[in-house]
């Protein structure tokens, strides 16, 4: 694991170092987000932070290619080229959108194109977790892969609304995915842990950790669509690629050591908050007759801030939920299911109480105020 951690550190250091340069370029060219009613910040902030994250990931991948222990990942360069090509396409689309606010349909075309590039280079959804059914039909593999890519990209794009939120959620979920992929690879070959999915999660987590010091509240730069879509793409690529690793496991190992649903549960758990926010936004916007892609101020992070949490508190609370589901899902891989279930129930209860505490406190104050008013009226009536 030490080599992956070295690559992660390289990605973090490069991202941290180049982000101020990206910020200067964005300010010079006037690429910044205006202050809008739905936004949480109250000053203009430069975009294109995702470009710094892209550079950190690419340098991390290049460093990994120079490590002999990880040479197995690059024995067949086709999947690596596919992921890189998709990242470049998303980078171009994201930077264009951050600079000129392009039409949502053009962004969708770019996202579909990124999924197609993955498919062309062999990164496809090969195994369905329900009954371990193989997806043998190439057109079905392609369609499912592109759908997952577009879904995950937009999920991360929707959740990117508070300083440090998307980067932190991706770092937490990516860390859980990293652990799972690493253990899965060792279960296939205990002498060789080199795996593309593990590497992708390492460089993504590193890029997020390197970007967060510049992006946590109060942010000096935001990742923009460039970064949010890039995170979604890398997460989707890992979720798709891991299905080919699962196909190599023996049937007995699948059902003894890993729950049968883990290959799909973990990506869902990692992206649960973004996917939930995406689903609620689509329902909310279509219900009022608006486009699902039309912006509004109804996201989960908006609700938390409007409910009484400060900007950093809302972000940390969403970190907690992301860690709870991500690492809870991973724990099923190597801990007794009953123990994980009990711990999850307890932590879910605590997290729910913490989340609802502002509303509960307001309700308690309202009840106490009403009781005091009734008592005051009763005393007046007796004295009268």
Digit-coded pLDDT (tens) for 17-55: 999 999 999 999 999 887 655 555 567 889 999 999 999
Rounded to an integer, what distance in angstroms lies between the CA atom of residue 231 and that of residue 316?
A: 19
DSSP 8-class letter at 73? G
Q: Are 231 and 239 in contact (CB under 8 A)?
A: no
Q: Note the residue count of the chain.
A: 384
CA distances from 364 to 263, 367, 372 (A): 43, 5, 12
Residue 136, token pair as written in the block = 């043998």
Asked whether the beta carbons of 263 and 246 are under 8 A apart, the reply is yes
Q: Are 230 and 90 in contact (CB under 8 A)?
A: yes
pLDDT per residue over 210-248, tens digit each? 999 999 988 999 999 999 999 999 999 998 888 776 555
Question: Does 136 score more than 70 pLDDT?
Answer: no
- Residues 153, 296, single domain; the answer is yes
Pair (228, 360) in one structural domain: no
The alpha helices in 251-336, defined as continuous H runs, are 251-257, 262-270, 272-287, 300-307, 311-331
| pLDDT on residue 295 | 60
Domain presence at residue 339: no
pLDDT of residue 259: 44
DSSP 8-state symbol, 65: H
Q: Encoding tokens for residue 375?
A: 């008592």
Cis peptide before 218 (omega within 30 of 0): yes
- 338 pLDDT above the threshold of 80: yes
Shared-domain flag, residues 364 and 305: no
Overall average pLDDT of the 199-213 stretch:
97
> Is the Cα torsion angle 1, 62, 171, 234 positive or negative in sign?
negative
Sequence-separated contacts (24+) of 107-111 with Cβ below 8 Å? 107/225, 107/229, 108/150, 111/149, 111/150, 111/153, 111/154, 111/229
Residues 98 and 187 grouped into a single domain: yes
Domain hosting 375: range is: 346-384
Confidence band of 292 (pLDDT split at 50, 70, 90) = low
278 and 374: one domain? no
Q: Are residues 376 and 296 in the same domain?
A: no
Give pLDDT, residue 261: 46
What is the structure's pLDDT at 131?
45
Confidence of residue 149 (pLDDT cuts 50, 70, 90): very high
pLDDT at residue 297, rounded to an integer: 57
Output the pLDDT for position 12: 98
256 lies in a domain?
yes
72: tokens are: 């197995």
Q: Is the pLDDT of residue 254 over 50?
A: no
- pLDDT of 199 reads 96
Asked whether residue 82 is assigned to any structural domain, the reply reads: yes
**217 and 115, same structural domain?**
yes
Residue 283: band (very low, low, confident or very high) from pLDDT cuts 50, 70, 90: confident
Within a domain: residue 64? yes
- Give 219's DSSP letter: P
- Location of structure tokens 């990742």: 223
Average pLDDT of the chain to the nearest whole number: 83
- Whether 268 is covered by a domain: the verdict is yes
Q: Do 239 and 371 belong together in one domain?
A: no
Is 340 a domain residue? no
* Residues forming a β-bridge with 46: 32
Q: Are 316 and 243 in contact (CB under 8 A)?
A: no
pLDDT of residue 128: 60
Asked whether residue 330 falls in the same domain as residue 353, the answer is no
Check if the beta carbon of residue 79 is closer than 8 Å to that of residue 122.
yes
* Between residues 88 and 298, the one the model is more confident about: 88
User: Which of these ranges, 75-79, 137-141, 187-191, 242-246, has the smallest mean pLDDT?
Assistant: 242-246
- Residue numbers in the known binding site for Mg(2+) are 157, 225
The pLDDT assigned to 231 comes to: 95
State the CB neighbour count (10 A cutoff) for residue 81. 14
Q: Are residues 247 and 270 in the same domain?
A: yes
- Give how many domains the chain has, as a whole number: 2
**Residue 159, both tokens:** 């959740």
Between CA 274 and CA 317 the distance in angstroms is 14
**Angle subtended at Cα 61 by Cα 58 and Cα 64, rounded to the nearest 5 degrees:** 150
Say how far residue 220 (Cα) sits from the centre of its chain. Answer: 21
Q: Is residue 93 domain-shared with residue 147, that is, in the same domain? A: yes
Task: Return the higher-pLDDT residue of 90 and 140.
Answer: 90
Q: Which 8-state DSSP code applies to residue 45?
A: E
Check: pTM over 0.75? Answer yes or no: yes
- Binding-site residues, in ranges, read 157, 225
Same-domain status, 126 and 251: yes
Mean pLDDT over residues 61-67, rounded? 96
Phi/psi region, residue 41 (left: phi>0; alpha: psi -120 to 50; beta: rest), is beta
Return the pLDDT at 260: 41
């Amino acid at each position: 694991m030490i080599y992956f951690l070295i690559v992660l550190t390289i990605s973090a250091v490069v991202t941290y170092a180049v982000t101020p340069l990206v910020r200067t370029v964005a300010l010079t060219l006037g690429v910044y987000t205006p202050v809008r009613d739905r936004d949480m910040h109250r000053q203009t902030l430069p975009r294109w932070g995702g470009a710094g994250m892209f550079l950190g990931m690419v340098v991390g991948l290049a460093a990994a290619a120079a490590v002999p222990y990880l040479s197995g990942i690059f024995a067949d360069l086709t999947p690596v080229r596919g992921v890189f090509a998709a990242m470049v396409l998303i980078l171009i689309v994201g930077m264009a959108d951050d600079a000129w606010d392009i039409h949502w349909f053009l962004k969708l075309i770019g996202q579909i194109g990124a999924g197609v590039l993955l498919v062309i280079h062999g990164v496809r959804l090969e195994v369905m977790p329900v009954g371990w059914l193989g997806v043998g039909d190439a057109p079905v593999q392609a369609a499912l892969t592109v759908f997952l890519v577009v879904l995950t990209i937009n999920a991360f794009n929707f959740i990117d609304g508070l300083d440090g939120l998307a980067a932190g959620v991706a770092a937490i979920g990516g860390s859980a995915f990293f652990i799972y992929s690493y253990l899965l690879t060792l279960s296939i070959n205990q002498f060789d842990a080199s795996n593309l999915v593990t590497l992708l999660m390492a460089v993504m987590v590193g890029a997020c950790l390197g970007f967060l010091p510049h992006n946590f509240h109060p942010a000096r730069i935001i990742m923009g669509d460039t970064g949010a879509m890039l995170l979604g793409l890398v997460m989707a690529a890992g979720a798709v690629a891991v299905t080919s690793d699962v196909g190599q496991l023996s049937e007995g190992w699948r059902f003894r050591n890993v729950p049968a649903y883990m290959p799909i549960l973990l990506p869902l758990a990692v992206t649960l908050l973004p996917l939930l926010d995406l689903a609620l936004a689509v329902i909310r916007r279509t219900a009022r007759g608006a486009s699902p892609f039309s912006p509004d101020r109804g996201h989960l992070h908006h609700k938390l801030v409007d409910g009484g949490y400060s900007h950093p508190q809302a972000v940390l609370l969403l970190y907690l939920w992301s860690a709870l589901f991500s690492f809870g899902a991973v724990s099923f891989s190597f801990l007794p299911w009953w123990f994980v279930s009990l711990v999850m129930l307890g932590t879910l209860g605590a997290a729910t109480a913490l989340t609802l505490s502002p509303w509960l406190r307001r309700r308690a104050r309202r009840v106490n105020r009403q009781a005091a008013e009734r008592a005051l009226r009763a005393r007046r009536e007796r004295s009268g």
